[in-house]
Structure 1
Amino acid sequence: MNTFISIIVIFGLLVFIHEFGHLIFAKRAGILCREFAIGFGPKIFSFKRSETVYTIRLLPLGGFVRMAGEDPEMIQIKPGYEIGLLFNNQGKVRQLIINNKSKHPDCKVIQVEKIDLEDKLFVSGYIDDQEDLITYSIDDKAEFIYDEQATQIAPLDRQFGSKTKSQRAMALFAGPMMNFLLAIVILAMYAWLAGTPVNESVVGDVIEDGAAIEAGLEKGDEVLAIDGQQVETWQEMTAIIQSNPNEPLDFLVQRGTNQFEVTITPDERVGPDEQVQGVVGIYQQTEKSLIGAVAFGFTQTYEFTKLIFESLGMLITGQFSLDHLAGPVGIYSYTDEVATLGFLMLMQWTAILSVNLGIINLLPLPALDGGRLLFIGLEALRGKPIDPQKEGLVHFIGFALLMLLMLVVTWNDINKFFL
């Protein structure tokens, strides 16, 4: 149960931050954002603020921001239709009643002759079979009322496609960007809580039953030299220790105002690269510093980013197979393992997932933010936009292939963890 709650909180945070980036920069560009959704499928909860409906949906597998102009308008009014009109204080149409006009007795019923809801914003028609054509201006924030549900109209200047290439690109890039910023913030908070490593050859703490504690080393001891070789940094000290498993080493140690020598024989341990390394059982010293924590957030985000790109490169070159990829089931299993290690490790894991989400979305694949940015780049090179129908078809095919890949990865996860 704790793992399930952790997954919901982590995924909810990652998706919220990602989509919030899209929302904020789309609104800054003047794009009408109809809906901000966490999850897919049926709505569980929704409320409207300003022009946007905020919803939580049943399937917590992602989210979206529905921007005007990205999907075909749901309601079209053609010549010959009878609609009801309600007006604001300036005499402009503020609501267009599509059906159930009887529920709006104050509306003025008009038989539409011409209507423009994107550019000129007007409606012309006839009232009560009068011969005179009457024209009304439409407010740029007017609403359709269909089945008593209001939908705001989207003039051209409020649609995604009407914005400059830089505005559209920023609205798309903002989602992944926010994931990187989230990782930086989480890792900075982690470093503030746990402390940032100090790059000095000072013992931060000693492990019980380790070679160091048996030799008499204590927290705060500074190692000056090993086997006559001077050391000043943690990396210099650990490099010598790791390269000499089961080899007695003479440590020159400073404790307060006293110096003394002690012989320590590093124990053997198999490292991440499957090589045998020496360990003596000491931790690196840490300190709590705001500047150090912020720096740690940036540097660790960079290291995670580099590591993920290296893994993607190995996947492309065939050094990794699809078996190494993890889908929702695999992430759930790994989160379960990390959650047992404590809150701080869960923070690091969340940061890794956030970086991963940002990178994946920036890949130049159809249906992802990176694929859509690629089309904007092609538009800049060609000097004209790609045919929207062709672009939509490419994204549809890409989305279908991504879903197929997700199914394959999920099946591999099930076989790996449960079968």
Structure 2
Amino acid sequence: METILIAFLIFGVLVVFHEFGHFSVAKLVGIKVHEFSIGMGKPRIFKFKKGETEYSIRPLPIGGYVKMEGEDEASTDERSFNNKPLWARMLVIVAGPFMNFIFAILLFSMMFYMIGFPTNDTTIGDIIPNYPAQMAGIKAGDKILSIDGKEMNSWKQIVETIHSKKDQKINIKILRDGKEKSFSIKPLLNKETNQVMIGISPTIKKSFAKSISMGFDRMTFVIKSMLAFFMKPSMKDVVGPVGIIHIVGQAAKTNIYSVLWIVGFISVNLGIVNLLPIPALDGGRLVFLIIEGLRGKPLDPEKEGFIHLTGFVLLMSLMVFMIFKDVERFKLFQHIFDLF
């Protein structure tokens, strides 16, 4: 039950960011917005009205929407969606997925900032319990001066030197509280990584600028991975809403970094999927706007609305199919029975 609540909360946050993109740009270009809704279905759990816009929360946390004047129907209102310039409507449509990418960058950046970045300084940041360094008496904060008489000028040099000392005792000279101390240590061979270790790690430094840069890099990495998947799609790698809840639950059992990574990954996926040229999705609407630009006149709003409605029904059918596939794949019926 806790996993389901966490997943619903995450879906809600993702939807808020996505729909806020549409909403904010619609307001910016002067489109009349009737409703800003988080969730789908009826009845509305909560609602209030401010100005001309009604804000609501609906029971199904699988989406949300911004209801704009003239988006799916003909309207003579000068502030309707269809009466705005083509560039303004395109901006409104693209703003939703764009906010998903921005949100992913924020999450990845937060993850990197919390983890921090290892420095190349020779000061020990942490000691691994029950490893040779701790057993010999070395402590966090000690500055390594030399190994076997060779001066150490960087953490990279320390690592390379220790890795070269397989089955050999090493003499490490450190500086602690202004005093030099020497220790004789026999490194340990890590059988999993096949690396020689003594159980020390470098000093960690937090950098806001580097975290943002790494967050952007990670976001582009996920986008490239998604595009590569679309080149060679496989149903075994696709999960639906229930599968996502299961994955989020598994991440929540580990640490906050895993949760931030998963939510950022889902946010990028949501942004890319919404840009696919499928009716009812932002990409489908964008295609109709491009066709309008090429034709020099808009399509019939009623016909376009029907096409998007058909696309929505097909998407809901696909979602139901994926739910059953997820239940079968993750054996979730057994998990549900276990709750009771």
Instruction: Check the 8 A contact 1:35/1:53 in 2, yes or no.
Output: yes
Q: 2: distance between equivalents of 1:315 and 1:240?
A: 45
Q: 1:191 to 1:53 in 2, by over 3 A?
A: same
Give how far 1:64 is off. Answer: 0.2
Taking the TM superposition and a 5 Å limit, the aligned residue runs for 1:6-405 are 6-42=6-42, 43-72=44-73, 118=76, 155=77, 157-192=78-113, 194-200=114-120, 202=122, 203-210=124-131, 213=134, 218-220=139-141, 232=154, 247-248=166-167, 255-256=174-175, 262-269=185-192, 278=195, 280=197, 281-283=199-201, 285-288=203-206, 292-318=207-233, 321-388=234-301, 391-405=304-318
Unaligned 5+ segments in structure 2 are 333-340
Unaligned 5+ segments in structure 1 are 74-116, 119-154, 270-275
Q: 1:68 to 1:208 in 2, by over 3 A?
A: same
**Pairs aligned (count):** 324
Q: Which moves more between the two structures, 218-227 or 166-175?
A: 218-227
Instruction: Check the 8 A contact 2:127/2:134 in 1, yes or no.
Output: yes
Q: Which moves more between the two structures, 248-257 or 344-353?
A: 248-257
Give how far 1:23 is off. Answer: 0.6
Q: 2: distance between equivalents of 1:229 and 1:407?
A: 65
Q: 1: distance between equivalents of 2:244 and 2:216?
A: 19
Cross-structure match for 2:336: none
Letter in 2 for 1:62: G
Give how far 1:178 is off. Answer: 1.8
Letter in 2 for 1:278: Q
Q: 1: distance between equivalents of 2:31 and 2:14?
A: 23
Instruction: Check the 8 A contact 2:110/2:211 in 1, yes or no.
Output: no
Give the SS at the match of 2:58: strand
Q: 2: distance between equivalents of 1:389 and 1:240?
A: 72
Q: 1:365 to 1:309 in 2, by over 3 A?
A: farther
Q: 2: distance between equivalents of 1:277 and 1:363?
A: 45
Q: 1: distance between equivalents of 2:160 and 2:310?
A: 51
Instruction: Check the 8 A contact 1:249/1:265 in 2, yes or no.
Output: no
Structure with greater helix share of residues = 2
Residue identity (%): 37
Letter in 2 for 1:372: R
Higher relative CO (CA 8 A, sep ≥ 6), structure 1 or 2? 2
Deviations 1:35-62 (A, max 9, x none): 1111111011111111111111111111
Q: CA RMSD in A?
A: 3.7
Q: 2: distance between equivalents of 1:401 and 1:174?
A: 24
